[in-house]
Amino acid sequence: MTERRLVLTVNGLAASLADVPAGERLLDTLRWRLGLKGTKEGCRTGGCGACTVLVDGESSLSCLTLTHEVDGCAVTTIEAIASDPVGRSVRDAFEREGALQCGYCTPGFVVALTGLLKERGRSAPLEELLDGLQGNLCRCTGYVAIARAVRAAREATA
């Protein structure tokens, strides 16, 4: 019997994976097989958003996504966000506005907002962008600085 390999494009690079169990989560594949530790493990139930990645440009919770489900897809993690102009604007806005404290949730917020801005553009109402981030939780900042960063990123996005 021929071994079936999964092929993903992760941060622009082809990744060919063998022996991936059917139940392996994308979060574990990214962190433990590919060494991409920027995607954080929070709740493992889809309730915190710390593990957000982009799959073919759309936000996805990697703790709820099986690696087999993204075979043939393009996955973008926080490690590649700075190479994207929109992602760089989002990352810079979070830094400028002090929208992080411990930083654990920050990768999920940055990736999710990057996906939202790429999908909806800078003309999206601020409330719509904030609503789109409701699945991302932060226990440190109180969200005021995060809301400022969302506003700043929207304004900076071309």
Write out pLDDT tens, residues 16-58: 999 999 999 999 999 999 999 999 999 999 999 999 999 999 9
Q: Above 80 in pLDDT, residue 2?
A: no
DSSP letter string, 53-81: EEETTEEEETTTSBGGGGTT-EEE-HHHH
**Residue 140 has what pLDDT?**
87
Total Cβ atoms within 10 A of residue 62: 28
Write out pLDDT tens, residues 85-108: 999 999 999 999 999 889 999 999
Write out pLDDT tens, residues 129-155: 999 999 999 988 779 999 999 999 999
**Residue 36 has what pLDDT?**
98
Q: Where are the domains of the chain?
A: 6-78, 81-156
Helix/strand/coil for 7: strand
Q: What is the mean pLDDT of the chain?
A: 94
Helices (H), the chain: 26-28, 78-81, 85-96, 106-120, 126-132, 144-156
CA angle 46, 90, 50 (to 5 degrees): 20
**Residue 39 has what pLDDT?**
97
- Give the whole-angstrom CA distance, residue 128 versus residue 3: 45
- Tell whether the torsion through CA atoms of 36, 142, 135 and 94 is positive or negative: negative
| Mean per-residue pLDDT, 114-131 | 94
DSSP state, residue 150:
H
- Give the whole-angstrom CA distance, residue 53 versus residue 60: 5
Q: Above 90 in pLDDT, residue 158?
A: no
Q: Is residue 17 within a helix (H) or strand (E), and if so which, with residue range? A: strand 13-17
Which residues does residue 25 pair with via DSSP β-bridges, in sequence order? Answer: 66
Question: What predicted TM-score, i.e. pTM, was given to this entire model?
Answer: 0.94
**Does 3.40.190.10 match the CATH number of domain 81-156?**
no
When pLDDT is cut at 50, 70 and 90, the band that residue 1 belongs to is very low
CATH of domain 6-78: 3.10.20.30
- Give the whole-angstrom CA distance, residue 97 versus residue 145: 6
